[in-house]
Structure 1
Amino acid sequence: MKLQCDVEVVNRMLPTYGIKNRGKGVRAVLSIGRLVDKTTECNNIYLMICTANDRAGSKYKLKENIETFFTRFVAEGEATVILKESALDICLSFRLTLTAWLPHSLPLSTLTPARARDVEKPKKKLTIVSKKDYPLTSTFPNSLEPLQPRELINLKLEDNKLVWLPFRIGHLSKLRFLSATHNQLAMLPGDFRKLTLENLDLFGNPFVHPNPLDHTIQLCISSLTLCYW
C-alpha cells in the first residue's frame, strides 16, 4: 500500500533541548509493508517514508508502537501518527480519504524503495515557448494550477478570424501587452477603457472608424500599431 502526500516527522524531544522542529512537510511516499527486523529476526509491519532526498526510505515499526492515531481532520486531508519509540509524531497531509487507503484487510507486501517520479514535487506551472515543450507523448499534469485570467500579462490573438474581443476584457487588470492582428475586428468593446496597456497591436483589422480608440476609450499606451481597411 502506498500513499503520496506531504509528511513532517516531528521529534517531541527537540523542544526540551531548545531546538525547533522544521515545521514544514515534504513530498513523500508512505508505504505499509512487512520487513524482517534484523535484531529479532521477526517479520514485522513497518511504515516507510520515502522522499526525494531519501528514496530508500526511513522505516518505523508500527506493531505495538502506535500511541495515538489522530484522525479527527481526515476529511480535511490531515492526520497524525504518534509513535511510542523515538518520541516521534508523523504528520500527514494528503488529498484523498485515508480510510480508502487503509482497508480493514489487505495482504501486505515487502517494502521497496520509491521511484524518482513518485517523490518528485508535482508540477504547478508549465511553460510552452516552442513545439518541443508541448506534452505530445503524455498528458498535461493534473497538478497544474488553473489559469487565473486576472494574472494575465501578455495576450496574443493573431490570425484567429475574431469579429469581436471579449466584452469583459477590461477585467484583465494586469494585461500590458495585447496583439490582435489580422482578425475581423470592426470595433473595440467599451470595457477596453479599463485596460492599462504598454503595447497594443491591432494591425490588419477592418475597423468601422479610422481610429477605434475614440474619445470614450482612454488608454496609456507607449507603443501602438493600428491599421484599417
Structure 2
Amino acid sequence: MKLHCKIEIYDRTLSLHRKSQRSILAYVKDSVNDDLCFYLWTRQNKQGTKYKITNNIRKIFKKFITNGKATISLIEPCHDLIIQSDAIQLKSFLNIMKHIIDGLCKSLDKYISKSNITFKSSEFYSLQKVVVKKKSEYPILQGFPRTTEQLVLSGLDRKSFDRQILTLRNLKFLDLSNNKISFLPKELGTLPYLQTLDLSHNNLGKSIRSKWTWLEQTALRRNLYFLDISNNLLTDLPVQIGRLKGLKELKIRHNMLTQLPQNIGTMNNLKLLDVAKNNLLFLPGTIQHLRLYFLDISENLFSKINYNIAFNERNLDKGLPSLVEFSARTLLKSRITYDASLIPYTLVQYLDEAKYCFSCKSACFDHYSRILTHFFPLTFSVNMKNTLNQHFNYEYYFCSTTCHNLMSFSNRNINT
C-alpha cells in the first residue's frame, strides 16, 4: 500500500522541525532479515528512508485522524512523523501498522511493496489534482484523496459513473470526457464547489428526462460556470439546463438537436454558447436577451427551411388560469429558489417547460402566440461563427395580444 501524503519531521533530539514535504509511505519487507518496515520517499530522497516497525513505535497519535492528520512517534531515530493525508487512506495505513505491531502479518502480503521500489518525481503529485491516464492506474480499492480539487478521468472507456467521486467535497474541476457514461446520479449536483464539468464524448443522449435531476440541485445551479456536453447523441437538450444561472460557457456541439429550450434566454451569465454541428432549424428569440461574446451556430439545418414570417398562434384570451398556472405564477412572483424537495415535481416540470415572452420576458404557460421569422428587433451584438453563412430564423413567443402587436409594429417600421 502506498500512502500519498504531506509529512513534517520533528527531530526530538535537536528539537528541530523539518519543512513539510509531499511524500510517499509504503510497507516493505527487509531483504536481509524479512522484517516488515516502512519507507518514506520524497522528491529529494527517491531512494527512501527506512523505519523499523517492530519494537520501534513509541506512540501513534490519532486524535485528529478524521481530519486526515496523525503522528507516528519513533524510538529510533528520535523522529515524529507528522502526517497529513486523506482520512480514509490514512486510517487504512495505520490499521496495517497495528496488525504488524500485533504480529498479525500473514494476511498482509498484498499491502507489502518490493524492497527495490523507486518513484519518479511525477508520482509525488499534488493532493489537489489527480489524473488517471490508464485503466490499470485506476484507484479502485484505495479511492481518491478526499482533498482532490481537480479530477481527470478521461478516455478510460468507463460505462458507469464512479460514486466514490461524490465523496470529494472539495472538487472544483471534473473531466469525465471520452467515456461511455449514460447516467449521472442526482448527488453529483450537490458537490458544493464544482465549477467545471466536462462530459463530452459520452452517451448522455440515452438518458431519459428523469435522469437529468443532477442539473436541478442547488449547489450546481449556483456554482457551475463551465459545462461541455458535446458529442453525446443528444436529440433534445433537457429543459433543466436553463436553471444553471451561474453558467458562463456552454458547449453542446456535435449532437442531434433540432431546437434549443426557450429558457436558455434566462441564463443571464452565459457568455459563450457553442451549438455547432447540430440539426437546429431556428434559434429561440430569447437568446437575444443574453450578453454573449461568442456564439457558434455553424453546420446546422437552418437553410433547409425557408420561413419568411410564419404564425402559429394559440388562443390569447386567457380566461381563468388553471390552478397549476396560478401556482406557477405565484411561485415566480415570489422569486424563491425551488426544487422538487419544496414543491411537487409536476409543478417543477411545468415551470421548466414555460415559454418566455420576448417583449415583457414573463413566462407563458397555456396561452401564447408564436412567430418564426428572420427578423430580430434587438441590437444583438455578438461574435457569431457561421461558417456556411446560413440564413436562420428566430422563434418568438408572446404572452398577450399587446406584446404580440409590439413585434408586428416594430416589424412594419423596419420594413418601411
How do 1:59-208 residues align onto structure 2 when only pairs under 5 Å count? 59-84=50-75, 85-94=77-86, 96-101=88-93, 102-103=95-96, 104=99, 105-107=104-106, 111-116=115-120, 119-121=123-125, 122-123=130-131, 124=150, 135=155, 138=156, 145-146=173-174, 148-149=196-197, 150-152=224-226, 155-165=250-260, 167=263, 171=267, 173=269, 175-181=270-276, 182-188=278-284, 190=286, 192=287, 195-203=290-298, 204=300, 205=302, 208=372
In structure 1, the partner of 2:22 is: 26
Letter in 2 for 1:4: L
Alignment of 1:227 with 2:391, yes or no, is yes
Measure, in 1, the Cα distance between the counterparts of 2:65 and 2:23: 18
Measure, in 1, the Cα distance between the counterparts of 2:24 and 2:89: 17
Q: Secondary structure at the match of 1:56?
A: coil
Displacement of 1:161 in angstroms is: 2.4
Letter in 1 for 2:392: Y
Letter in 2 for 1:221: V
How do 1:34-45 residues align onto structure 2 when only pairs under 5 Å count? 34=30, 36=32, 44-45=35-36
Measure, in 1, the Cα distance between the counterparts of 2:285 and 2:61: 56
Change in 2 beyond 3 A, CA 1:184/1:68: same
Displacement of 1:200 in angstroms is: 1.4
RMSD over aligned CA atoms reads 4.2
Displacement of 1:58 in angstroms is: 1.4
Letter in 2 for 1:80: T
Select 1:209's aligned residue among 365, 373, 389.
Answer: 373
Change in 2 beyond 3 A, CA 1:73/1:178: same
Change in 2 beyond 3 A, CA 1:87/1:196: same
Measure, in 2, the Cα distance between the counterparts of 1:171 and 1:195: 7
Q: Which has the higher contact order (CA 8 A, sep 6+)?
A: 1
Q: Secondary structure at the match of 2:174?
A: coil
Q: Are the counterparts in 2 of residues 51 and 57 from structure 1 also a CA contact under 8 Å?
A: yes
Q: Are the counterparts in 2 of residues 32 and 111 from structure 1 also a CA contact under 8 Å?
A: yes
Measure, in 1, the Cα distance between the counterparts of 2:44 and 2:267: 43
Query: C-alpha deviations, 1:139-178, integer Å up to 9, x for none?
Result: 57x89942525332654434422133354575584x5432
The structure with the greater share of residues assigned to helix is 2
Measure, in 2, the Cα distance between the counterparts of 1:116 and 1:52: 8
Q: Are the counterparts in 2 of residues 158 and 180 from structure 1 also a CA contact under 8 Å?
A: yes
Measure, in 2, the Cα distance between the counterparts of 1:159 and 1:112: 49
Q: Give the structure-2-normalised TM-score.
A: 0.39
Measure, in 2, the Cα distance between the counterparts of 1:14 and 1:139: 53
Measure, in 2, the Cα distance between the counterparts of 1:189 and 1:27: 56
Q: Give the structure-1-normalised TM-score.
A: 0.63
Change in 2 beyond 3 A, CA 1:223/1:43: closer
Q: Are the counterparts in 2 of residues 12 and 87 from structure 1 also a CA contact under 8 Å?
A: yes
Letter in 2 for 1:33: K
Change in 2 beyond 3 A, CA 1:183/1:11: same
Identity level (%): 16
In structure 2, the partner of 1:130 is: none
Query: Number of matched residues?
Result: 206
Q: Secondary structure at the match of 2:73?
A: strand
Measure, in 2, the Cα distance between the counterparts of 1:93 and 1:221: 47
Q: Are the counterparts in 2 of residues 10 and 89 from structure 1 also a CA contact under 8 Å?
A: yes
The structure with the greater share of residues assigned to strand is 1
| Deviates most, 154-163 or 74-83 | 154-163
Change in 2 beyond 3 A, CA 1:156/1:49: same
In structure 1, the partner of 2:331 is: none
Measure, in 1, the Cα distance between the counterparts of 2:83 and 2:385: 55
Measure, in 2, the Cα distance between the counterparts of 1:86 and 1:48: 16
Letter in 2 for 1:111: S
